[in-house]
Amino acid sequence: MATAARAHTEHGGANDRAGLGRSGEALLDALRRRLLSGRADGALGDGADVELLADRMVAALPAVKHEADALIGPFYDTPTLAAWRGVTRQALSKATAKRDLIGLKIGDGSLVYPSFQFGASGAPLPNLRQVLALIDPDRIDPWGSALWLNTVADEFGGTTAAQALRDGRVEQVLAAARRAAHAWAADA
């Protein structure tokens, strides 16, 4: 059986990969490099459930297509994010209510979660609650908050407020959030 699977991979793999597109090919290549570098040795012992590992890896991919993908996305839906992070839907709802996560309502009334707010391990953006309390204290515009966090700005050295938070530049982001909130209040 293992020989048949290996033959399929060696001979049929190219055909299987043909429909992936550039991003899918790049993802497979990046995964292959990491596996070959030994980064997954501990997870891939002889008894490893590779199907389960593959399911968890795919669950980590944001899958919701939305017109705001270029600005804020890609996005996770609730079931996918819950599976990837290993939490319940209720836990996501609670984290969103506490403003530890940004959940954005879309046309059908469901929530989507912008992927920029999660690190590679699924850890949420640090200090998000404090930033959101400054830029949108009345919870009027979560889409605007997400856009502000994910827009490249000179004040963050050509990166985003979200990346600055990840880099530990909390005070810089909080100061910028205060300035943005004051500017928006003056325009209102």
Series of mean pLDDT values for 10-residue runs along the chain (188 residues): 40 53 69 70 67 58 53 82 90 96 91 90 91 94 94 94 96 96 84
Q: What is the pLDDT of residue 25?
A: 74
pLDDT of residue 136: 94
What pLDDT does residue 71 have? 59
CA separation for the pair 133, 71 (Å, rounded): 22
Residue 167's pLDDT is 95
Q: What is the pLDDT of residue 4?
A: 39
CB 51 within 8 A of CB 91: no
pTM of the model: 0.67
